[in-house]
């Protein structure tokens, strides 16, 4: 069986889930789309210490509550979302596979379309992390957002134009394969 193509909607789902978890301050040590050949599908694996400290049932209940509060629960195929302990062998295997990769995705979510009250959240989602809530940067106008993407993250103008256009249409956008060192991500407030 051929590996199912990872589509942009899966990556956008990952970004929306990460953004919601970040805003709710849910600790996440890994959030990664993982291909399962037996099912011919991509699954979203989320490692959180809450799996161990609160138990699987409470961890799932809180994640579902966060997705509902963010208004994205209906858009997330929950049967493809798997919470795991950071100590789970499959999580450790994913981390080993991803070690050394310094790229990730930048996810942008627009919370208000009113011109006088525009609000945006930007997160950098590296393929592995050290844990804790995924930090985000917030902006109140598109000019600040554009400046941050182009001048601080060094994303090309054409990629930023495409993302902002999509953001205007769908209230969320992702810019894939952004290379950023952890040091720079911390300096910019997104790690």
Q: pLDDT tens digit string along 22-59?
A: 889 999 998 888 888 888 888 999 999 999 999 999 99
pLDDT at res. 4: 52
Give Cα 92 to chain centroid, integer Å: 19
Give Cα 91 to chain centroid, integer Å: 17
Domain positions in the chain are 8-97, 101-187
CA nearest to 134, candidates 11, 10, 21, 53: 21
pLDDT at res. 35: 80
Cβ atoms of 42 and 34 closer than 8 Å: yes
Tokens of 47: 């490692």
Q: Which residues of the chain have pLDDT under 70?
A: 1-8, 97-102, 113-116, 127-134, 181-184, 191
pLDDT at res. 100: 46
Cβ atoms of 28 and 18 closer than 8 Å: yes
CA nearest to 162, candidates 115, 104, 108, 103: 108
pLDDT at res. 134: 65
CATH architecture of 8-97: 2-Layer Sandwich (3.30)
pLDDT at res. 33: 83
pLDDT at res. 2: 42
pLDDT at res. 161: 93
């Amino acid at each position: 069986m051929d590996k199912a193509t990872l589509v942009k909607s899966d990556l956008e789902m990952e970004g929306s889930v990460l953004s919601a978890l970040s805003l709710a301050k849910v600790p996440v040590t890994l959030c990664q789309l993982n291909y399962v050949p037996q099912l011919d599908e991509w699954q979203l694996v989320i490692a959180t210490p809450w799996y161990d400290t609160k138990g699987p049932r409470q961890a799932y209940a809180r994640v579902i509550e966060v997705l509902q509060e963010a208004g994205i629960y209906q858009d997330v195929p929950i049967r493809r979302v798997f919470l795991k302990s950071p100590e789970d062998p499959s999580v450790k295997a994913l981390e080993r596979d991803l070690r050394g990769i310094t790229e990730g995705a930048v996810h942008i979510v627009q919370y208000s379309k009113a011109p006088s009250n525009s609000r945006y959240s930007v997160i950098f989602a590296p393929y592995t992390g050290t844990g804790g809530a995924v930090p985000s940067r917030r902006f109140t106008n598109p000019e600040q957002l554009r400046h941050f993407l182009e001048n601080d993250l060094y994303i090309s103008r054409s990629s930023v134009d495409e993302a902002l256009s999509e953001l205007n249409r769908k209230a969320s956008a992702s810019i894939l394969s952004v290379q950023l060192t952890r040091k720079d991500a911390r300096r910019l407030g997104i790690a």
